[in-house]
Amino acid sequence: MTATTAPISLSLDSAVETTTSRPSLGRAGVAAGSVAAAATVAVVAVARLIDVPVQTEPGKAIPILGFAQLTLFFTAVGVLVARTIRNRSVRPHRTFVVTTSVLTALSLVPDLMLSTDTASKLTLMLTHLVAAAIVVPVLARRVES
């Protein structure tokens, strides 16, 4: 019986290169989403301090932590959108920015349709814009790589 040996070459360079060549959308999303969640809560807290009843209809106030939860949820959706666009688009940065701009504009429509006062509507719309202003640029930078 003869034993043959073949040289085994282990190279971590290609594995490391693959994982570091694309910045992590997930980590960026968690960081940006956390900042955006805190910012939307702060917007609502300030609005309530100046007697703006942030509500969906008279007498139906939105819980303040609901803003953080929804901001984090939709940041996760944004990460999934960014991943999909990054993997499938010829021009991922532009596609992501245009897509998120349209989605942000569309997110304002339900606020306009609420049967509540103008100050509440404007505050709710501001939370959408603040969250998008924080999250979209962070994810857009990761998509272009």
Domain span at 89: 24-143
**pLDDT value at residue 11:** 45
pLDDT of residue 68: 97
Dihedral, 89, 93, 99, 100 alpha carbons, nearest 10? 140
Answer yes or no: is 70 within a domain: yes
What is the reported pLDDT for 57? 84
Can you give the pLDDT at residue 2?
A: 58
pLDDT in tens, 58-92: 888 899 999 999 999 999 999 999 999 999 999 99
Number of domains in the chain: 1
pTM recorded for the entire structure: 0.81
**Does residue 6 belong to any structural domain of this protein?**
no
- What distance in Å separates the CA atoms of residue 59 and residue 36, rounded to the nearest whole number? 27
Cα gap 74→80, rounded to integer Å: 10
Full DSSP string of 57-104: ETTEEPPHHHHHHHHHHHHHHHHHHHHHHHHH-SSHHHHHHHHHHHHH
In a domain, 43, yes or no: yes
| Whole-number pLDDT of residue 4 | 57
Residue 110: inside a domain, yes or no?
Answer: yes
Q: 119 lies in a domain?
A: yes
Tokens of 12: 């971590």
- Amino acid 58: pLDDT: 83
Q: Are 25 and 139 in contact (CB under 8 A)?
A: yes
Residue 20 is encoded by which pair of tokens? 């570091």
pLDDT of residue 87: 93
Considering the domain boundaries, does residue 42 fall inside one?
Answer: yes
Q: Is 123 part of a structural domain of the chain?
A: yes
Instruction: Please name the amino acid found at residue 12.
Output: L
Q: Is residue 2 in a domain? A: no
Q: Which of 20-29, 109-118, 122-131, 132-141 comes out lowest in average pLDDT? A: 20-29
- Half-sphere CA count of 116, side-chain side, radius 13 A: 22
